[in-house]
Amino acid sequence: MHPAPQRFHSRWLLRAASLAVVMLLAACGFALRGVTPLPFDTMYVGIPDNTRFGADVRRALRAASPDTRLVEQPDQAQAILQMVRNERTLREVSLNAQGRVEEYELGIVFTFRLVTNKGVAILPDTTLSVYREMPYDDQVVQAKQGQIESLYQSMQQSLVGRLLRRLTAPDVRMAAEAAARGESDPDAPVFDPNARPVERPETWQTPASPGTGSW
């Protein structure tokens, strides 16, 4: 084989291997993106760590900002992430001729704030929401219940990414730097830095079996 075709063949193999690696990472849920560090040395996350969502938020924060230490108590942190609301919804979107549900809309509404350890708002109450529509067949309720939970988990992953982008936005960095200098907006709201998230029951219900109605 001549040198030129051999070099071409080697380059083709390298590109193919690189593409395979990228596709594998994408399939595993990883994104090749630059790390945007948080403008804090220490941070407290007020989302229960015994939940999938809380664990995912902490994992994302550590990955994006490895130099920021997540602490166990609010008074140890420069910034405190407080969860105000985290609710799931399940709404009927369409019915068939027999009055049975054909499609549901799933939703998650998440409200949070970012404050200093003095309670001064760096980022006041901010709401992120995500919705997905799902076709429904009441003849396969058990399978659909699993699909509903899988969709909620996927929606939570989307919320984690949006939350991370919001926390690392330029205006948050500037507000954090101003707070560190004692130059916060005097009209900025002040919250209790030790406030704990209020545990509320889920607002959605699992669709019922056939013959028992829509819920």
Residues 142 and 176 reside in one and the same domain: yes
pLDDT at 138: 67
pLDDT at 187: 79
Residues 5 and 104 reside in one and the same domain: no
Q: Total domain count for the chain? A: 2
Neighbours of 108 (CB within 10 A): 21
pLDDT at 104: 87
- What is the extent of the structural domain holding 155? 41-206
Residues 105 and 129 reside in one and the same domain: yes
Question: Which has the closest alpha carbon to 66: 30, 37, 29?
Answer: 37
Residues 113 and 192 reside in one and the same domain: yes
Asked if the structure places residue 165 within a domain, the reply is: yes
CB contact set of 67 (below 8 Å; sequence gap of 6+): 37, 41
pLDDT at 198: 66
Residues 86 and 11 reside in one and the same domain: no
**Exposure letters 45-74 (e unless 16+ CB within 10 A, then b):** bbbeeeeebbebbbebbeebbeebebbeeb
Residues 51 and 142 reside in one and the same domain: yes
pLDDT at 46: 96
Per-run averaged pLDDT (10 residues), the chain, 215 residues:
49 46 41 68 94 94 95 95 94 80 90 95 96 78 75 94 95 91 82 80 46 36
Residues 87 and 126 reside in one and the same domain: yes
Residues 56 and 97 reside in one and the same domain: yes
Asked if the structure places residue 35 within a domain, the reply is: no
pLDDT at 12: 45
pLDDT at 210: 41
Residues 72 and 16 reside in one and the same domain: no
Residues 156 and 95 reside in one and the same domain: yes
Residues 14 and 49 reside in one and the same domain: no
| CATH number of the domain that residue 103 is part of | 3.30.160.150
Residue with tokens 């830095």: 193
Rg (CA), the chain: 23
pLDDT at 167: 96
Residues 75 and 151 reside in one and the same domain: yes
